[in-house]
Structure 1
């Protein structure tokens, strides 16, 4: 990131001679080549998949959906909720299990004291 200032570039990824960002096709081509080189078989993985992976990770870490929505640049939280509802449902199920486990521990503590 520090080199961006040295190179007077606004972009993290840029075509060397022009300084312009690569096309979507070029970025996908480079990404697929890199994935193949490390031995992964993900022919349908594309650059935009990284965005979804990032959001999935943030949701799994309990990051607030409003913060995620702003990070993604969505016009409103409803857009984020509609796209990632299935992940939120999975996260909710995990959280419900934690709640039940926690309440069971509280109940077990009371039972032991009787």
Structure 2
């Protein structure tokens, strides 16, 4: 009797458990690959720009999101994003080198 109730409670992995496990493993692998494949140059640009973004966002009641890791025109500014109080995405330019240690809002084109 005890053996029978134990077997009915512990049937092993179900298909749902397998699917959930595969989804979690896929997410972990994608995050790991993204971090491994990001070039050191990209990290050197993105990290200081995001630090400047967080400082700017804190002082301007924004929620910092992310910055690009590539300076398209070599001017020391990269494109960043933040959310305002209405959860609308705001575009900014943030500096990443010693010449620029701040951010500024990009006006919305009408």
TM over 0.5: same fold? no
Q: What TM-score, normalized by structure 2, do the two folds share?
A: 0.28
* Structure number with higher relative contact order (C-alpha < 8 Å, ≥ 6 residues apart): 2
Which of the two has higher C-alpha Rg? 2
TM-score (norm 1): 0.27
